[in-house]
Amino acid sequence: MMQQRERAQDLVGQRYEVEVGPVAHGGHCVAKHEGRVLFVRHALPGERVVAEVTDGGEGSRFLRADAVEVLEASPDRVPAPCPYAGPGRCGGCDWQHAALGAQRRLKADVLTEQLRRLAGVEPSEVGWDGSVAPAPGDKVAKGQVPAWRTRVDFAVDEDGRAGLRRHRSHEVEPVEHCLIAAEGVEELGVEEHSWPGMAEVEAIAATGSKDRQVVLEPRPGARLPLVELDRPVSVTRVDEQGGRVRVHGRQFVRERAADRTWRVSQGGFWQVHRSAPEVLVEAVMAGLNPRDGDMALDLYCGVGLFAGALAARVGEEGAVLGIESSKQAVSDARFNLADLERVRVEKGRVEEVLPRTGIEECDLVVMDPPRSGAGREVTAAVAGLGPRRIAYVACDPAALARDLAYFRESGYRPISLKAFDLFPMTHHLECVATLVRMG
């Protein structure tokens, strides 16, 4: 077994001079050397680089590599503003070496390719203009980086230093400052403090309130350190079963979006870009165009963001049902929407709960599944309810394209698609597709 593993890695460290081809899903570009495919990070389409293999061997279907020397640079290349970016360094950002406009074009190219390959459609067929829009406030001057990330999960090395993991590695790159972290995160000073015995420290800075929280994950057998940061902060820890336990302060933060305040407890899910909740609610509501009296579903509803927005638009005669698998998120959603009698939130997996609700038809559906997407079973169940419109929120273009193909099998087609750059400097993007029945 050891010999097989060694043979699988026997090209690591080899260097090849290659012409860089198109961008691929995942934050790298495609290149070839003597017929072998390389997925190259830190490169841009059209460049000529020296690529050093980081993963793979003679028997591998493809190799992973880093561009360690740029022989012919793309006009879209810029000096990486982050001192921790580059081959072998922090893996948190994919495109520090690309201008912001170029990053969005690369993301648009990836989305286009996934739509063609997995959904069999052209951008114009799904109502997409081919652009990836920046979030409000992210149109920054040349050479600047948007400080957008309100939740940062810092890894901690054996010496107690906080940092970020290197690409495809458990190794920690200690950092003194994260350029994409929101101001509220950096005000805590997590990187400047020592964290003995901790494996991870998540820093959370709420938007619209002064709430700050850190979530500590101790190494086995370690005791919690005394937390003294640069700003007042609540502390939660991860227990041996992976649950969250309040140490001191509030067990939640209060987020402000869509004209409401949202309780998000114990490090629970909330969009990480400071502008994302407003951007996505606006896109979803524009796509669904709710009417008084509509019956609406919010699937994978989290703490209730879309359910609340829908309830405000369907009126007293309307109704909204949310479904969410996280026990804590369901508790938060019920608390957040307690003043809206027309909203009900059920706990469980969508594919299990939806058939048990007894609902045979509805008017509108919004679904924001995890990165892996909804899948054929859920898309078929949703289509079987005959909604007038469906809004599908996706953070992975491949999962989106696959599920659009499933919806087509069930008689629904997209009439609009909007793409947003809610993860600047990374390869990720967010999309909102609106679907209607064919015919």
Do the annotations mark residue 251 as ligand-binding? no
Do the annotations mark residue 159 as ligand-binding? no
Q: What is the pLDDT of residue 2?
A: 47
Co-location of 232 and 277 in the same domain: no
Q: What is the pLDDT of residues 405-434, one digit of tens each?
A: 999 999 999 999 999 999 999 999 999 999
Co-location of 190 and 248 in the same domain: yes
Average pLDDT over residues 325-352: 97
Is residue 263 situated within a structural domain? no
- pLDDT, the chain, mean: 95
Co-location of 433 and 294 in the same domain: yes
Q: What is the dihedral of CA 39, 109, 140, 184, to 10 degrees?
A: -60
Tokens of 164: 């970020």
User: What is the C-alpha to C-alpha distance for residues 67 and 36, in angstroms, rounded to an integer?
Assistant: 16
Co-location of 303 and 429 in the same domain: yes
**Count of other CB atoms within 10 angstroms of residue 7:** 13
Q: What is the pLDDT of residues 271-307, one digit of tens each?
A: 999 999 999 999 999 999 999 999 999 999 999 999 9
pLDDT over 90 at 78, yes or no = yes
pLDDT over 60 at 338, yes or no = yes
Co-location of 209 and 244 in the same domain: yes
Tell me how long the chain is.
Answer: 439
Residue ending a domain, among 220, 255, 290, is 255
User: What is the C-alpha to C-alpha distance for residues 264 and 273, in angstroms, rounded to an integer?
Assistant: 15
Report the Cα–Cα distance between both ends of the chain, in Å, rounded: 57
Is residue 204 situated within a structural domain? yes
Co-location of 412 and 384 in the same domain: yes
Q: What is the pLDDT of residue 9?
A: 64
Q: What is the CATH number of the domain that holds 416?
A: 3.40.50.150
Do the annotations mark residue 328 as ligand-binding? no
**How many distinct structural domains can be found in the chain?**
3
Active site residues: 395
Q: What is the pLDDT of residue 242?
A: 83
Co-location of 301 and 182 in the same domain: no
Is residue 260 situated within a structural domain? no
Q: What is the pLDDT of residues 385-407, one digit of tens each?
A: 999 999 999 999 999 999 999 99
**Helix or strand (DSSP H, E) at 343:** strand 343-347
Residue ending a domain, among 255, 284, 318, is 255
The pLDDT-based confidence of 1 (bands split at 50, 70, 90) is: very low
Burial class of residue 163 (count of CB atoms within 10 Å of its CB; 0-12, 13-18, 19+): buried
Q: Which residue range forms the structural domain that includes residue 381?
A: 108-137+272-437
Co-location of 129 and 162 in the same domain: no
Co-location of 133 and 155 in the same domain: no
Contact between 177 and 191 under an 8 Å Cβ cutoff? The reply is yes
Q: What is the DSSP letter of 118?
A: I
pTM confidence score: 0.94
User: What is the C-alpha to C-alpha distance for residues 163 and 6, in angstroms, rounded to an integer?
Assistant: 30
Q: What is the pLDDT of residues 185-239, one digit of tens each?
A: 999 999 999 999 999 999 999 999 999 999 999 999 999 988 889 999 999 999 8
pLDDT above 90 coverage of the chain, percent: 92
User: What is the C-alpha to C-alpha distance for residues 69 and 8, in angstroms, rounded to an integer?
Assistant: 25
Is residue 98 situated within a structural domain? no
Do the annotations mark residue 368 as ligand-binding? yes
**Helix or strand (DSSP H, E) at 106:** helix 100-114
Is residue 219 situated within a structural domain? yes
User: What is the C-alpha to C-alpha distance for residues 411 and 120, in angstroms, rounded to an integer?
Assistant: 15
Residue ending a domain, among 202, 229, 255, is 255
Choose the weakest-confidence range: 2-16, 97-111, 174-188, 285-299.
Answer: 2-16
Is residue 88 situated within a structural domain? no
- Which residue stretches of 228-322 are H helix? 276-288, 305-314
Is residue 300 situated within a structural domain? yes
Which amino acid would we find at residue 201?
V
Co-location of 284 and 421 in the same domain: yes
**Between 327 and 9, whose confidence is greater?**
327
Is residue 392 situated within a structural domain? yes
Co-location of 28 and 132 in the same domain: no
Co-location of 422 and 322 in the same domain: yes
pLDDT over 80 at 379, yes or no = yes
Q: What is the CATH number of the domain that holds 25?
A: 2.40.50.140
Alpha carbon distances (Å) from 81 to 126, 180, 189, 286, 422: 36, 11, 20, 36, 19
